[in-house]
Structure formats: C-alpha cells, structure tokens
Structure 1
Amino acid sequence: MERLDSSIRMYPALISGAFFLRSTSRNGSIFSYPDEQTGVKQVIAWSRIFGDHEILCAINLDQEKYAFIYVTVDEAMHPIDTSMKCLFATDLSPAELNIEVRNGKAIRLTIPPYALVIYS
C-alpha cells in the first residue's frame, strides 16, 4: 500500500484525471467492455487522462491465472513505435510495452493473478 500511495502522489492524474473505462481483447481483434450481464470480468482496465498524459490501470480479478490481454489506449496520445512504461505493479510485470495498432491503439498486458498494474 505504501508503494501505491507513493505512486498516487507522484502522478496526480491517478486522482484528478478524466476517467475512461477501456475495452479489452484476448485475441487482439475482438474488443469489448466487462460484461455485467454474464459477470465475465477477468480484467477491468481504465485510464486516467490529465492534459496530454494517460495513465492506464488494469486489475486481473482471477486469483489463479495470469491474464494476457490487449487493452485499448487513447489513439491520439500514443504514436506508433512508442511504448508505455510500468509505474506500479503488485507483482512482476513487463517494464515496458509497445503500442500496437489494434482497435485504434492498444498494448498487450501480462497481469499476474489478482494483481494491479499501472502504465504510463
């Protein structure tokens, strides 16, 4: 909790940025939001955008399995051949992820079981 609190203080967009729920995809082609009707919510992802800065947060709700999932990011803020860096993770996660052209723009997250990751 102390590391998370420190991250929140370092990145005010986590508190005051505009909130956007993000669509996800297991295959990189078909993107959707968490399904409230069926209760399927392995990963919930959202962005906080403040000015020209996006911070992407994602939680893997599965307590046993890793999540390998594409998450949509803001298309205008992320040029091709750029990346997002890990600001915080509750478990081991990739330090940097490349922006891909999928559903506009997306990154492919690897999230450990029952973990939170934050990228910018």
Structure 2
Amino acid sequence: MQNLLDLHLNPDFMGVREHCLEKLRPYQMERLESLMRKYPTLLSGAFFLRSTSRNGTIFSYPDDETGDNEVIAWSRISDDHEILCAMNLDQENYAIVYVTVDDVMHPRDSSMKCLFASDLSPAELNIEVRNGKAIRLTIPPHALVIYC
C-alpha cells in the first residue's frame, strides 16, 4: 500500500513532507498506515483544502498572499463523513488556529474526535459557528493531527 507521503504529497505540497511528515517516527508512520486501512476516506475521499484563522474571524487559505503558510489543513470527505488533517510546519512554536469544516455535516454542539496526533493534542474538539463551522486546533511544532 502506498503511504501517505507518496499518495498525497507528490510533489511536496507547501513543504509539508519536508517540514513535518518526514520527521514522524516509524511507529507513527505505522499508525498512519493502519488508520488509512481503517478509514478508507483518508485515501479515497474528496479532497478539500481548508481555510484557517488565527483570530476566528478572518479566514484564509495557505496559498493566499496574506494567508497563514505555517498551518496546512485539508479534509477528506466521503459518504457524509469528514476527516480533517492539519499540520503545523513551524519548527518551534505551537499553532492555535480555527479550521473550517463542512458546515452541513456538523450540527451545532457536535464535536470531532482525535484519530491521530504526532504530539500531545486534545482528544476531542467542539464545533463552533465560525466561517460556517470550524474547530479550534492547538497543534504542536512539526506536528500532524487528524480528527473525525
């Protein structure tokens, strides 16, 4: 089975491979491979780049000139199921950002659970009404988080 690096990041999208994924330990890569088998949406779901915001009000995409290029977030969606992935490319600082999620799939007062974190991260996050719907992520330096 192709791994996450080869399947989704050829060529290296905005430095995600170099700055984050290549730094994962072998056991973390094994956990990711296991997740891809358990959640086929990670491989075959529709891909959506997600906008982020530091203040919860002004959202932008990482490729915008004024956008945050330190956090890359995307969703994979299939069969009314969303899996959100986000990476902090900063080498030294935590990133605290709001990330847009699908507005229709997530009712008010719902939450998303952590499936994977390459470093300490909250186990569950509440959906907030911001830019449609969003969750507030705290991502350690060089870390990858996956929520569903």
Q: Which TM class, normalised by the smaller chain length?
A: over 0.9
- 1:17 equivalent in structure 2: 45
AA partner of residue 114 (structure 2): C
CA distance in 1, matches of 2:76, 2:67: 24
Superposed counterparts of 1:1-120, under 5 Å: 1-35=29-63, 37=65, 40-120=68-148
Deviations 1:22-41 (A, max 9, x none): 00000000000013657851
Q: Which has the higher helix share?
A: 2
Could you list the runs of 5+ residues in structure 2 that have no partner in the other structure?
A: 1-28
Higher Cα Rg: structure 1 or 2?
A: 2
Letter in structure 1 aligned against 2:127: I
Q: Which 4+ stretches in 1 moved above 4 angstroms?
A: 36-40
Unaligned runs of 5+ in 1: none
* CA distance in structure 2 between the aligned counterparts of 1:101 and 1:26, rounded to whole angstroms: 15
Query: Please, what TM-score do these two structures have when normalized by structure 1?
Result: 0.96
| CA spacing shift, 1:39–1:96, aligned 2, 3 Å | closer
Count of matched residue pairs: 120
Identity of aligned pairs, percent? Answer: 79
Report the Cα distance in structure 1 between the residues aligned to 2:46 and 2:124, rounded to whole angstroms: 23
Give distance in 2, aligned partners of 1:77 and 1:35. 25
Amino acid at match of 1:111: I
RMSD: 1.3
Deviations 1:43-91 (A, max 9, x none): 0000000111000000000010000000000000000000000000101
